């Protein structure tokens, strides 16, 4: 059963501008260490940073909470399988919220171009 869906779209330049202005302080606010390390290894990290931002927003929308007191940036992690398939790992508040909502799984799909990044999330119960 589908308990919630979320979608988010963001301009890559918004994330690139914030990173240029605030550096790793900005990244550490919205991403976990493994996410930062993965993105910064790439030739052009901007689209990969932006798509993780969009995915976290989409997760928060699937839960119906937004990013805030119940669900923080670091409660959500976007990882990749060896095949390249993205998946969501929940931590702390994210795990508690999944349990309260009686969720079984989160499904995520990511897309990005040089200018836009988007994500869709389905919360399965």
Q: Please give the structure tokens belonging to residue 21.
A: 């202005």
pLDDT of residue 45: 98
The catalytic site residues sit at 61, 112
pLDDT of residue 19: 98
pLDDT of residue 84: 94
Sorting pLDDT into bands at 50, 70 and 90, what band is 28?
Answer: very high
Reduce the secondary structure of 54-98 to three states and give it as a string.
HHHHHHHHHHCCCCCCCCCHHHEEEEECCCCCEEEEECCHHHHHH
Cβ-count burial 32-48 (b if 16+ within 10 Å, e if not)? beebbebbeeeeebbbb
Tell me the pLDDT tens digit for each residue of 43-90.
Answer: 999 999 999 999 999 999 999 999 999 999 999 999 999 999 999 999
Task: List domains and CATH numbers for the chain.
Answer: 2-124 (3.90.470.20)
Local structure of 117: helix, strand or coil: strand
Q: CB atoms < 10 A from the CB of 27, how many?
A: 21
pLDDT of residue 13: 98
pLDDT of residue 35: 98
């Amino acid at each position: 059963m589908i308990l919630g869906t979320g979608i988010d779209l963001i301009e890559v330049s918004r994330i690139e501008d914030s990173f240029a202005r605030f550096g790793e302080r900005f990244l550490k606010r919205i991403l976990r260490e493994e996410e930062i390390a993965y993105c910064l290894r790439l030739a052009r990290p901007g689209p990969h940073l932006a798509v993780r931002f969009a995915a976290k927003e989409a997760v928060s929308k699937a839960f119906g909470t937004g990013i805030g007191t119940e669900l923080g940036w670091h409660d959500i992690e976007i990882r990749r399988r060896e095949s390249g398939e993205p998946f969501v790992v929940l931590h702390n508040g994210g795990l508690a919220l999944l349990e309260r909502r009686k969720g079984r799984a989160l499904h995520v799909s990511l897309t990005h171009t040089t200018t836009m990044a988007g994500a869709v999330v389905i919360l399965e119960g």
